[in-house]
Amino acid sequence: MQFVPEHTGETRNEQLTRNVGELLQELRVAQAGVQILFGFLLSVVFTDRFHDASGFEKSLHLSAVTLAVAATALLTAPAAWHRLLFRTGSRERILAVGNRFVLVGLVCLALAITSTVALIAKVVYGGIAMVVMGVLCLLIFGVLWFVMPFRLNPRPQPTGPPK
């Protein structure tokens, strides 16, 4: 995709500083969801009912935990890089790679939530409910997070920092 330059009247450094700040603020929003989900998934293992779960249910749970871990790592990496590379002139690279990591992290988060909802549906209502809820969750995340942005702004979007 091609980048459409912003015309904000900022210097290149000001624009990069603002873009890093915006990225880190967006990460705060996503990270709260990951933390809540991860805490829930960790606590489930220590219930009596979990020990009676089927192998499939335990595998689905472990998949959700793994996706939540991946989302956590991907969504916190740009903040760690920013801290470690502070004032090294690396903002542009942090933005380019960080943007990609955030997008992959959001996919992992959506899949972790979908897996968790599917697991709950399976335990409470059975296999058909699991499939229905899993598909419904995927559709909701897919449309709201990934389809709607392109419908709102059909111009090609940047995949990295401004040039």
Q: Domain for residue 13, yes or no?
A: no
Domain that holds residue 139: 18-148
Q: Phi, psi at residue 160, to the nearest 5°?
A: -145, -165
SS3 content of the chain, % helix, strand, coil (to 5): 80, 0, 20
| Count of structural domains within the chain | 1
- Return per-residue pLDDT of the chain as tens, 163 residues: 344 455 677 888 788 778 878 877 887 878 888 889 999 999 999 998 899 999 999 999 999 999 999 999 999 998 888 788 877 888 888 888 989 999 999 999 999 999 999 999 999 999 999 999 999 999 999 999 989 988 898 676 566 555 5
For residue 156, tell me if it sits in a domain.
no
What is the C-alpha to C-alpha distance for residues 119 and 134, in angstroms, rounded to an integer?
A: 9
Q: Tell me how far apart the alpha carbons of residues 64 and 158 are, in angstroms, rounded to a whole number.
A: 30
Q: What is the pLDDT of residues 3-20, one digit of tens each?
A: 445 567 788 878 877 887
Task: Indicate the pTM of the whole model.
Answer: 0.81
> Taking a C-beta distance cutoff of 8 angstroms, is the pair 26, 78 a contact?
no
